[in-house]
Structure 1
């Protein structure tokens, strides 16, 4: 097919040299690539919006309703996190990898795996464990995109927080080990500290 297209193009442009045709093909390929890259970037950006994340009632009626009013939603500084800030990596390749994994999770929406509050509650622990495992595997990378441990002011932390933050590296704990109920209700069952995962 490509060969016949190339032959047809050569016949139409017999006055053009092979170099001109080759240059035209390079430019056309570049333009198609640029359009696809722009469309892909726009698609990634759109799927990171709060409007997209809460577009289905499974999220809007369950986890988003829980999120409303938490410290990541409303706080004294006015800095507000949205779903993608905590659930999607910010770096390009991890972002694309996460989006590809998420595309396989869409089937659950279409077949109604968690389309009622009862079904959601029945699977809450399993869903939470997936998120905790992913965050432990990346050393809570999504948290660290906003919260930098080298910028902590220990004098503004409680004694308990100060003690735990000072031993994070030695104990192998990461943000999600202690802060797993900060934006959503805690499910019944063991917390993330009990999960054994490979860290980077």
Structure 2
């Protein structure tokens, strides 16, 4: 009987530790999905200033989009994968690779292309959380937008292929 009591006590303890781990893990994920966290690195302050001048952040409807809305997947597994990839950005901030505006700008083309490649690979998944061809009223768009969206639908293009520079200044391609 003592054996079963020990097993039950151990199982209960492990269950409680598991619940605490899940809770702390969830709090950590939420805390790292805020504009405040994203811009806590000096190198991201310029990106925030650009975003604040953009229609995705500053608009008549009052709907505000933050860093995680465009850069972090909503589903758990892709979110965790991206969080692991983002560790390298923190590393580069710490060692000084991108810790000043000048250093960041020097690498901006490369960094932007990494984001664009990821967005193309995921069919602009984060954009499509709010925008989708299926829900667009093409008749309400101006002629140019109608034509381009119809062409994009036909060719299977994804948002970022045409809308680079939509939230941040598009970097100049290096020589």
For 2:129 and 2:21, locate their aligned partners in 1 and report how far apart those are by CA, in whole Å: 28
Unmatched segments (≥5 aa) in structure 2: none
Between stretches 166-175 and 121-130, larger displacement belongs to 166-175
Pairing 1:3-18 to 2, within 5 Å after superposition: 17-18=2-3
Q: Aligned pair 1:142/2:126, yes or no? A: yes
Pairing 1:167-186 to 2, within 5 Å after superposition: 167-186=151-170
Who is 1:44 aligned against?
29
Q: Cα RMSD between the aligned structures?
A: 1.4
For 1:123 and 1:31, locate their aligned partners in 2 and report how far apart those are by CA, in whole Å: 46
Q: Deviations over 1:124-173 (max 9, x none)?
A: 10010000000000000010111122111112212121122223243131
Who is 2:144 aligned against?
160
Q: Aligned pair 1:74/2:58, yes or no? A: yes
Matching residue within 38, 63, 67 for 2:47: 63
Unmatched segments (≥5 aa) in structure 1: 1-15, 191-200
For 1:75 and 1:17, locate their aligned partners in 2 and report how far apart those are by CA, in whole Å: 67
| Cα drift, residue 27 of structure 1 | 1.1
Q: Aligned pair 1:22/2:7, yes or no? A: yes
Who is 1:86 aligned against?
70
SS at match of 1:141: coil
SS at match of 1:167: helix
For 1:109 and 1:92, locate their aligned partners in 2 and report how far apart those are by CA, in whole Å: 25
Contact 2:120 2:160 in 1 (8 A): yes
Who is 2:100 aligned against?
116
* Bigger Rg, structure 1 or 2: 1
TM-score (norm 1): 0.83
For 1:123 and 1:142, locate their aligned partners in 2 and report how far apart those are by CA, in whole Å: 24
For 1:104 and 1:32, locate their aligned partners in 2 and report how far apart those are by CA, in whole Å: 30
Contact 2:133 2:153 in 1 (8 A): no
TM-score (norm 2): 0.94
